[in-house]
Amino acid sequence: MRKEFPRLLSEGTLGPLTLRNRIVMPAMDQNNCTEDGLISDKTLQHYEDRAKGGAGLLILETSAVKWPDGATSKHQPSLSSDAVVPGLEKLAERAHKHGARMIVQACHHGRISGLDISRDVPVLVPSTPIPSFDTLGMAHNTTTEELMKMATLTGGKLPTFKEASREELEEVIEAFVEASLRIKKANLDGIEIHAAHGYLISTFLSKAWNRREDEWGGSIEKRARLLSEIVRKIRKKCGSDFAIVVRIDGHEYGIENGITSDEASTTAVIAEEVGADAIHVSAISSSGTGVGFTEGPLPWERCQYSELAKTVKSAISIPVIAVGRIEPADGERLIAENSCDFVAMGRQLLADPELPNNLINDSPEKIRPCINCFVCVAQNFWNGEPVCAVNPRLGNYEEKVEVPKKLKNVVIVGAGPSGLECARMASNRGHKVTLLEQTRSLGGTALFSSLTTPKNGELINWFERILKDSEVVIRKNFLADSKSIMSFDPDVVVIATGSQSSKSNIKGSELPHVLSRDQLKALLQEANSSEIIKGRKNLSYLLLWLGRKSGLFKNVQKIRKLSKLWMPLG
């Protein structure tokens, strides 16, 4: 039991809270509240799944303290009236029932307040004019369909900016305090003040956005005033048994004069002095582009912000929560190295809520991997509910999993990710499952794409492990047709044969040595490979022939390595 992750799975103290382990689920919008920002059954189910899965601390997604003012979406949780308390109370019950603690991320979204923009309300910023950045940056890598969906968020309107007045800032502070009292009344365990990601407090902390010369701008101490006033007043009103976490940007990328890691450390020191119990270190890119988004807040690299967390940790004595593609082994190491005290795992807990339990039960191999594909968060750009490429339950909580009245004989054709998942689910529910695959390997296009995106290969390996322990009968090298399918006498046939790629229009793709996606995929899987090799009379032909004969194409890792030296296949 608990051999590999002694630190990650040990109890931890965060202010007044004792957490059963060091795994934190960070705030992640699910956008599934009612039109009035009230907690829905879907919201409850989402968080209960993660509480049951064993995480120590859950942080409710970003919730608007002055909803609908300063809110990004109607469907995000509201904290602005007493009507929200009963829903939050249910949330507390569902989390506590399974031994998790739960706090609420509270925010004023400042310049990114979609609901204000849609209602022609100017959005609050520290200073006008705002710094020049690529306001249409996100549009450069976006399809027309996606752009249309994005436009619905704000009714197609562009923001107008208003320099926040002293009165408006006092109102914001008061709204945070009232929100905290509601959270406390609902029996939740504390608050996370969202001072990161380009929202109102974050823009006050940033020299790039805050060029004020009054008591709210200038030195970092003055720029941190909005944050420190909020923390101080909440501590005073809510007392010492209420946890206060502050989420900050450890660095602001993509803009001149953005927040530096030294400034982030000073902000953390100030927050500690005025009563914060922990600092959660994330990051932001203010470039406004799609690529910038992977600099912050949705990192692409493993442990992308760990150094930022370490820098902050060295400046303060309260605990630090690190975040940013931290997998369990990295989390264990980061705690051991004293880079942080707690580890937030966001997308991994969307992909597999049972991650902590699998570590506790010493079965890390059972954890369904997040493939770092950004499908979930893309929904947030157009007000959708996140769905997940590997976990079909995310965003589909209304679909009841019922015990089948009659067990069926299910035949599935195609062992790509959807066929594999279908087999896993049907077998879990007790059906008799036969999975037919025409090639010698599982995974379909996902296996092929693992050449460039190894994470996809991890997913296929996971399916292989899980199905090996199941009752599913897998028939590889099986070319299914109606006759062979009917020979299994199925009650249900699922066709999961995937898609075919369209012909590339990239210049040069017609050259004889260039292979299309489908051709390369077939080669790897040895389906129709003789036909593909036939007719290629140059060096590529020889290499392809050798590759097939030597069995090289059976090993994705070897092909990946070879392709780095020389790309003979394309």
For binding to ligand FMN (CB under 6 A), which residues are involved? 26-29, 61-62, 105, 194, 197, 247, 282, 297-299, 323-325, 345-348, 376-377, 380, 386
Shortest Å, Cβ 143 to ligand SF4? 18
Shortest Å, Cβ 275 to ligand FMN:
21
Tell the burial category of 313 from Cβ atoms under 10 Å away from its Cβ (0-12, 13-18, 19+): buried
Query: In 3-state terms, what secondary structure has residue 382?
Result: helix
Minimum CB distance to ligand FMN smaller for 27 or for 411:
27
Residue of 121, 150, 181, 375 interacting with ligand SF4 (CB under 6 A): 375
Identity of the residue, 173 or 351, whose beta carbon is nearer to ligand SF4 in the bound complex = 351
Nearer of residues 50 and 347 to ligand SF4, judged by Cβ: 347
Lookup: tokens for 221: 């101490």
Query: Which of 390, 466, 520, 544 is the binder for ligand SF4 (CB under 6 A)?
Result: 390
**Quick check: 370 binds ligand SF4 (CB under 6 A)?**
yes
Single-letter residue type at 515:
L
199 is catalytic: yes
Dihedral angle over CA of 5, 457, 544, 502, nearest 10: -160
Q: Which does 556 bind (CB under 5 to 8 A by kind): ligand SF4, ligand FMN, none?
A: none
Our finding on whether 284 is near ligand SF4 (CB under 6 A) is no
Could you tell me which stretch among 62-70, 274-282, 369-377, 424-432 binds ligand SF4 (CB under 6 A)? 369-377
Q: Is 552 in the site for ligand SF4 (CB under 6 A)?
A: no
Q: Please calculate the CA angle 495-499-503 and round it to the nearest 5 degrees.
A: 155
- Classify the C-alpha dihedral 147-148-153-159 as positive or negative: positive
Question: Which CB atom, from 138 or from 169, has the smaller least distance to ligand SF4?
Answer: 138
Q: What angle do CA 274, 81, 51 make, to 5 degrees?
A: 70
Choose among ligand SF4, ligand FMN, none what residue 105 binds, the Cβ cut-off being 5 to 8 Å by kind: ligand FMN
Nearer to ligand FMN, 14 or 467 (CB): 14
Given the complex with ligand SF4, which of 181 and 378 has the nearer CB atom? 378
CA distance 245 to 105: 9
* Residue in 93, 99, 89, 106 with CA at minimum distance from that of residue 17: 99
Taking CB under 6 A as the criterion, which residues in 344-363 touch ligand SF4?
Answer: 347, 350-351
For the bound state, the minimum distance from the C-beta of residue 386 to ligand SF4, rounded and expressed in Å, comes to 7
Sequence-distant (6+) residues with CB within 8 A of 183 are 79, 88, 103, 104, 106, 190, 191
Angstrom distance (rounded) from CA 376 to CA 568: 35
* Distance of alpha carbon 195 from alpha carbon 185, whole angstroms: 23
C-alpha–C-alpha distance, residues 24 and 341, integer Å = 11
Residue 23, phi then psi, degrees to nearest 5: -95, 125
CB atoms within 10 A of CB 239: 10
Which residue is catalytic, options 47, 199, 305, 397?
A: 199
Per the listing, tokens 């190491």 go with 333
Task: Tell me which residues in 30-49 interact with ligand SF4 (CB under 6 A).
Answer: none
Query: Which residues on neighbouring strands pair with residue 214, listed in sequence order?
Result: none
Residue 388 Cβ vs ligand FMN, minimum distance, rounded to whole Å: 9
In angstroms, the CA 315 to CA 308 distance is 11
Contact between 388 and ligand SF4 per CB under 6 A: yes
Q: Looking at beta carbons only, is 115 or 355 nearer to ligand SF4?
A: 355
DSSP assignment, residue 541?
H
375 interacts with, out of ligand FMN, ligand SF4, none, CB within 5 to 8 A per kind: ligand SF4
Residue 339 touches which member of ligand FMN, ligand SF4, none, C-beta under 5-8 Å by kind = none
Task: Give catalytic residue positions.
Answer: 199
Interaction site with ligand SF4 (CB under 6 A): 347, 350-351, 370-376, 388-390
